[in-house]
Amino acid sequence: MPLLVQNGRIITATDDYVADIYCAGETVTRIEPRISSETLPHGPEEIEIVDASGKYVFPGFIDPHVHIYLPFMGTYAADDYESASKAALAGGTTTLIEMICPGPNDEPMDAFQTWRSKAEGLASVDYTFHMSVVGFEERVREQFRHIVEQGVSSFKVFLAYKGALNLSDEHLFAVMKMARELGVIVTAHCENADAIDAMQKSLLADGKTGPEWHGPSRPPVVEADGVHHLCSFAELTGAHVYTVHTSCDAAVRQALAARHRGVNVWIESVAPHLVFDESSASLPNFEGAKYVMSPPLRHKANQDVLWNAIRSRSISTIGTDHAPFNFRGQKDMGKSAFTMIPNGIPTLQERVDIVHTRGVSEGRIDLQTMVDACSTQAARIFGLHPRKGTIQVGGDADLVVYDPHYRGTFSLKNSFSKVDYNAYEGWEQKGRASVVTVRGEVQVRDGEFVGTVGRGRFIGREPTHG
């Protein structure tokens, strides 16, 4: 059914104006000061009309860093594409980029097929993938070329997780050379694996086993070292790189210093690092495990640094690193040693509202910067733009009609994720998506999913970093 959004205040990464938007099919076909329904070739009952008076109209938000299907030490993350899609959409996210995370012995092509099969039929958001490279022997290299040809134009590498996911420097260099050749960007988890491994062992040997020791096992210098290392290899190979979940002043400085030298590096932050600090990981009764992620939550002083870098657009994106593991039965695998706690602070549904509540409402960033960081930059960096990430004629009709006056509370009872806790439980929420559309079809109204499970589509992407 055609869609007409009237009287909304349209906010993009650069613009702010009032207009009507008409979508004849899956794309935006007209944007004009006033589009009367009488001038359209349909009766009023044949058009979905959304009154956006007093509300913002944002481009659909894009989460560039999500985990849904995720094996970890014999268990699996709690969400599937149905629950994760609903969570994303309720929070205004219409496209997500999931990390394909094979184990070191898995064939890359098999992993690609497995991850795709998990989404098909269950996704109601549009989605695409970053392809993790956890080994790069000669034997598997052709498979990565083939995966790029299938529309996955970004790699993910780990400098962390010694013996499980981290790449040797020999392989890291070779991946980056191939990425440069193919025009594919390399996203990277930047923490020095060997330093972490040594510090974890010595903390555990001293009987320091609780979740509060996760942070001390990987301090800021470990992350700054990882960013520096990645950027050095980018400088040598010419590869374009993207530091995921960049958490602290020291790491941001390394990326900016590299950018100053001419390295093509983009910086991602994730919502949890903007609003939580290390004290959460020290909550009693093992509650701190809910707040274990890597890089860890940092000293509070880093939050202002991150927000300021978002405001100046030095940090390009705000993602989530949504990794949904239950508190009971999964996080508690690490009761005897923090190194066994599955990492993640589920935030897929809360991201945009957190950024609006703590960022825009508190004056840290403006609305255009919120759109830029939560949608437009992810689209540009990862080859989705201009189909996604902005509102323009010809683009996909992914729209978020957002009520900035809504007041509520973040809570497990409102969340679609299957995880058994909400890290933001009881926090005040300012603003909420009233209507969310994906390619012209309404998927969410006022926090309720009204869409079609399985309608989400895999979005193939061309390499754009040549």
Query: Can you give the binding site for Zn ion, defined by CB under 5 A?
Result: 321
Our CB check for Zn ion shows the closer of 100 and 175 to be 100
Our CB check for Zn ion shows the closer of 237 and 316 to be 316
Token representation of residue 158 = 């780990």
d(CA 396, CA 64): 18
Q: Phi/psi of residue 270, each to 5°? A: -130, 150
Our CB check for Zn ion shows the closer of 272 and 440 to be 272
Rounded to the nearest whole angstrom, what is the least distance from the CB of residue 18 to Zn ion in the complex? 38
Query: Angle 301-311/249-260 helices, nearest 10 degrees?
Result: 30
Our CB check for Zn ion shows the closer of 321 and 372 to be 321
Rounded to the nearest whole angstrom, what is the least distance from the CB of residue 343 to Zn ion in the complex? 8
d(CA 315, CA 277): 19
Rounded to the nearest whole angstrom, what is the least distance from the CB of residue 344 to Zn ion in the complex? 8
Closest to 435 in 3D by CA, of 407, 413, 412, 406: 406
Rounded to the nearest whole angstrom, what is the least distance from the CB of residue 439 to Zn ion in the complex? 27
User: Which residue intervals of 121-247 are DSSP H helices?
Assistant: 138-149, 169-182, 193-205, 220-237
Our CB check for Zn ion shows the closer of 225 and 321 to be 321
Rounded to the nearest whole angstrom, what is the least distance from the CB of residue 321 to Zn ion in the complex? 4
Token representation of residue 86 = 């609903």
Closest to 424 in 3D by CA, of 434, 412, 433, 432: 412
- Judge residue 300's burial from the number of C-beta atoms within 10 Å of its C-beta, 0-12 exposed, 13-18 middle, 19 or more buried: exposed
Our CB check for Zn ion shows the closer of 321 and 350 to be 321
Our CB check for Zn ion shows the closer of 321 and 398 to be 321
CB closest to Zn ion, residue no: 321
Closest to 293 in 3D by CA, of 324, 315, 267: 324
Rounded to the nearest whole angstrom, what is the least distance from the CB of residue 111 to Zn ion in the complex? 15
Our CB check for Zn ion shows the closer of 293 and 433 to be 293
Rounded to the nearest whole angstrom, what is the least distance from the CB of residue 374 to Zn ion in the complex? 17
| Residue partners of 21: CB distance under 8 A and separation at least 6 | 3, 4, 5, 8, 10, 28, 30, 31, 35, 57, 391, 397, 399
Cβ-contact 156, 131 below 8 angstroms: yes
Q: Phi/psi of residue 265, each to 5°? A: -125, 135
Q: Phi/psi of residue 96, each to 5°? A: -130, 155
Rounded to the nearest whole angstrom, what is the least distance from the CB of residue 182 to Zn ion in the complex? 23
Our CB check for Zn ion shows the closer of 249 and 321 to be 321
d(CA 203, CA 209): 7
Rounded to the nearest whole angstrom, what is the least distance from the CB of residue 171 to Zn ion in the complex? 20
d(CA 349, CA 169): 36
Rounded to the nearest whole angstrom, what is the least distance from the CB of residue 235 to Zn ion in the complex? 25
Can you spell out the DSSP letters for 82-125?
HHHHHHHHHTTEEEEEEEE---TTS-HHHHHHHHHHHHTTT--S
Our CB check for Zn ion shows the closer of 102 and 447 to be 102
